Structure 1
Amino acid sequence: MTDQALLTGSLGVVAGVLLALILIGVVRLARGSRDLGGEAERATSRTLHLAGLAAAELRAAHGPDLVRAARHVRTLLGVQAVAFVTAEGAVVFDGSISGLDASALRVAARVRETDRRQVFPRRRGTDTVHEAVGAPVTVDGEYRGALIAFAENVRSPLVRATGEVADWCAAQIALTELEASRASLAEAELRALRAQISPHFIYNSLAAIASFITTDPERARTLVLDFADFTRYSFRQKGEFTTLAQELGSIRNYLELERARFGDRLEVRLRIAPETLSTVIPFLSVQPLVENAVRHGLEPTASGGLIVIAAEDEGTHTEISVEDDGVGMDPALVQDALAGPVQTTHIGLRNVDTRLRRLYGAEGGLVIDTNLGAGTMVRMRVPKSQPMHEADAP
């Protein structure tokens, strides 16, 4: 299952549970009133507000803040006390009743044993004035703890509400872990792309620079600066996104270094619509396409060739293409490289295609037109509006 499918499923769970919470809040706070006006609206607003506060604590950047979350969940459920008991047996408590740690652990043990909601009524022959209901917090089938609500009287609406809130808490934790996993995956993909900066390319670049030191010192100095800027951009440590303008700047440095080696055999043309330069794109998404054109399209030929880099405004999207008139590729092998396991050949294309599909859906991947002896054109379409994605400063 892909990250996108997991995220879609998790969001569906959150939406369903949040709807149930709203209904519970409306029924509880607007009970007895036939007027569905102001009181019901206030109940809905209050429920959403509390759910939002609890979600922020459950999805804190440095791990769930269960102490603050318990406070909001207790208010949401309208009970005397709430406890979170973690899978390791730690008890986080909020409420007006003291000395409930032992009771919370007993309820949590039963919940974990049965993996279902458990109700603990008032025990006969004791002066206990509270009852309890516990529900498991389970993420992807793994028990993460229990949510326990304490009240003077536990009735069926509270039992249902506690189960729904526990499921909602689990969904929040799952989303947090999915986001962390997505961030780790993105970083791993960028590391893989950086690893593809060929030692052969670095050696050739330094050799080309060295060849100009005595014959054309100014050209050698310029190439050193190009090499420094190229490596600085490629190995920057922050940001999953950049702008087309920033990426083109790095591509210019790369091509200047390759021109030092190819000479007149490498011709480059740019067809960039000015309005597309501010388009936000995934970091290192166009540069690997240009490197692929040079290494696999033109380098195998003695005569070199032409690379055309284009960007066109298509209304809601920007279409970016990289075309070369080199040796081309077998279309079947290209599809195998994109769909199959990671390979040493064309890993840059596969990496970019995977990232685009993860970000923009199944239809957002690369489009590759090629054939043996016919050159290659690689196209990508990026939405112009990406409110959740921001380019980092170079």
Structure 2
Amino acid sequence: MKLLFSLIQVASFFLFVAYAYCNSPMFRMRRLEAASRRDLAVMYLFFSVISIGGTYLGLPVHGALANTRAIGPVLAGLVGGPYLGLAVGLTGGLHRYFYGGFTALACGVSTTVEGALGGVVHLYLARRYGAERPLSPLTALVTMMVAEALQMIIILLVARPFPDALQLVEAIAFPMIAANSLGAAIFMSILRDRRDLYDQVGAASTARALRIAGRTLGPLAKGFTPDVAPELAKIILEETGVGAVAITDTQTVLAFVGIGSDHHKPGMTLAPECHRAILHRDVQFMDGAHEPYHCGYSDQCPLGSVLVIPLQVDGEVIGTIKLFEPASKRFLSINRTLGEGLAQLLATQLLRARYEEQKNLLVLAELKLAHAQINPHFLFNSLTTIQAIMRRDANRARELLNHLSTFFRMNLKRSPEFSTLEEELTHVNAYLEIEKARFQERLTVAIDVDPTLLQVKLPTFTLQPLLENAIKHGIADKLEPGSARIHAFWEDGAARIDVEDDAGTYFERKERGKDGLGLGIVEKRIRNLLKGGSGLTVTCDPHVRTCVSIRIPAEEARAS
């Protein structure tokens, strides 16, 4: 029993080493599938030290050593798999062989076998029960018992003289099996619990980052402005729990919330640490201990540490995010990591907002280009038609002038983004009255719309370009009369709007590059402004029918 208690004391020392390791920056016991080469190298060194240290701290017994050497290779195999277990076992075994004694060869072989055994158990349990089973303290306990039993057998088979080997095994078998198995179970419990804690902290940080991303998405869509900055600072303060948060541009403080807000005010000039962060495009951290933080605004400021992260968008520093802690509180490393990740997240969202803004401006510019191309041409044709009608029917000419006025007035006054289907139809009717007067009996247009769809919103300037394409590039080229149709109806839970013509010349026009500028712009605007699977398709039966279909899913149609 004395030997057992002595071995437990040695094992306790290594448990202390395990606890210290788990609380050091070197600890990265990640899941095996996520472990990098660096992680495996660190684990190899750590478990090899445990194995070799177990030999050095062994207790002399009958010309040999009672020791805790096996804990290193067995746990290395359970944690890191067969390769790591074998590598640590071989390292510890070679060291034990060269250490000497009549059991040198037997213990060298047994240490290597024990590491391989841990790796084999890891493979079996991971494949059958999942990656967590090899990391169970119970698994470590049973595996170590089997490993130490194997060591005793190998000593009996290899060590000579046999009577001395038998006497040694009788003396050390129970103490080593009991002490090492118990030590391995507690050791594994420390390692696993610490890793789980890191995983929980990581999951909490990820969840916090996702909450921040969700909460800041709306404000950042408006851009990085003095109006948005206070809302961003408040969100970051609430989610990180730091003492205070400041948002700056490259010249002044845009917002400050939290401790010290009585003297840290928006509009103040930037502190030196902000200038350094912007100039060097690097994080500035003053922890208040190794590098002091001095508030430049008040000698009585309670803030004692600050993290300054430059906010870069598309390679350009547009400002900084500052996280503060009071002098009475240590700046947590997790908040530092979160703050640095937060700057990247906000930069990505700002870049996306900038992209969306530029994309919308581009589509709007294309829309205005279409107006500029269509309106003069349409105005010229309309005035020519009205002039011809005026000679024989002044009242009809007056009506057409009213329709023309309505058409252009709606062009000027309509929202650049959305109109209801009802407003689109009013615009189309004003256009049609003039086109019917121009083509007379050669043009027939039918409008068939489900009344429940009249309030569905569409991108402004959707129907008229499609109908103009049908008339200008289809029906106008026919020698015989032509017809067009606007049909709006529900289909499979979605709103569908068809604009048809009976010319069927879409493919021919497309080959000649005359499928119409308006069609491309309408398709872009539907794709950009209406989400959830909204889209535009064209079907054509040559010389029989062309149909341009707009489809808006029910949830999008009803939401609008």
TM-score computed with the length of structure 2 as normaliser: 0.53
Determine whether 1:167 maps to 2:350. Answer: no
- Shift in Å, 1:293: 0.8
Other structure's SS at 2:448 match: strand
Alpha carbons 1:209, 1:223 under 8 Å: kept: yes
Structure 2 matches for 1:330-369, cutoff 5 A?
330=507, 334=510, 346-360=516-530, 364-369=534-539
Pair 1:117–1:21, CA change in 2 (3 A): farther
Provide, for residues 341-362 of structure 1, a one-character-per-residue CA deviation record: whole Å limited to 9, x for no partner.
xxx7510111112222223469
* Alignment partner, residue 254 of structure 1: 431
- Shift in Å, 1:245: 2.0
Determine whether 1:380 maps to 2:550. Answer: yes
Determine whether 1:77 maps to 2:240. Answer: yes
Once residues 285 and 212 of structure 1 are traced to their aligned partners in structure 2, the CA distance between those partners, rounded to angstroms, is: 29
* Alignment partner, residue 270 of structure 1: 447
Alpha carbons 1:118, 1:135 under 8 Å: kept: yes
* Alignment partner, residue 285 of structure 2: 119
- Shift in Å, 1:75: 4.9
Once residues 188 and 63 of structure 1 are traced to their aligned partners in structure 2, the CA distance between those partners, rounded to angstroms, is: 24
Once residues 317 and 224 of structure 2 are traced to their aligned partners in structure 1, the CA distance between those partners, rounded to angstroms, is: 20
- Shift in Å, 1:23: 2.6
Once residues 309 and 428 of structure 2 are traced to their aligned partners in structure 1, the CA distance between those partners, rounded to angstroms, is: 55
- Shift in Å, 1:22: 9.2
Structure 2 matches for 1:227-238, cutoff 5 A?
227-238=404-415
Other structure's SS at 1:235 match: helix
Pair 1:61–1:122, CA change in 2 (3 A): closer
Once residues 125 and 115 of structure 1 are traced to their aligned partners in structure 2, the CA distance between those partners, rounded to angstroms, is: 19
Pair 1:368–1:112, CA change in 2 (3 A): same
Once residues 64 and 387 of structure 1 are traced to their aligned partners in structure 2, the CA distance between those partners, rounded to angstroms, is: 35
Identity of aligned residues (%): 28
* Alignment partner, residue 90 of structure 1: 252
- Shift in Å, 1:271: 2.8
Letter in 2 for 1:334: K
Letter in 2 for 1:79: V
Other structure's SS at 1:313 match: strand
Q: Could you say which structure has the higher helix fraction?
A: 2
Letter in 2 for 1:291: E
Structure 2 matches for 1:303-318, cutoff 5 A?
303-318=480-495
Letter in 1 for 2:242: V
Tell which has more relative contact order, 1 or 2 (C-alpha 8 A, sep 6+): 1
Choose 95-104 or 255-264, whichever is displaced more: 95-104
- Shift in Å, 1:159: 0.8
Determine whether 1:218 maps to 2:380. Answer: no
- Shift in Å, 1:112: 3.7
Pick the aligned partner of 2:364 from 168, 187, 200.
Answer: 187
Alpha carbons 2:217, 2:349 under 8 Å: kept: yes
Letter in 1 for 2:287: P
- Shift in Å, 1:71: 4.9
Alpha carbons 2:252, 2:270 under 8 Å: kept: no
* Alignment partner, residue 322 of structure 1: 499
Pair 1:357–1:336, CA change in 2 (3 A): farther
Other structure's SS at 1:385 match: helix
Structure 2 matches for 1:28-177, cutoff 5 A?
52=215, 63-65=225-227, 66-67=229-230, 69-86=232-249, 88-92=250-254, 93-97=256-260, 105-112=271-278, 115-122=281-288, 130-151=304-325, 152=327, 153-177=330-354
Alpha carbons 2:445, 2:485 under 8 Å: kept: yes
Structure with larger Rg: 2
RMSD over equivalenced CA pairs, Å: 3.9
Other structure's SS at 2:440 match: helix
Once residues 531 and 219 of structure 2 are traced to their aligned partners in structure 1, the CA distance between those partners, rounded to angstroms, is: 30
- Shift in Å, 1:290: 0.6
Pair 1:202–1:354, CA change in 2 (3 A): same
Pair 1:287–1:384, CA change in 2 (3 A): farther
For structure 2, list consecutive stretches of 5 or more residues without a partner in the other structure: 1-200, 295-302
Once residues 352 and 318 of structure 1 are traced to their aligned partners in structure 2, the CA distance between those partners, rounded to angstroms, is: 17
Determine whether 1:208 maps to 2:208. Answer: no
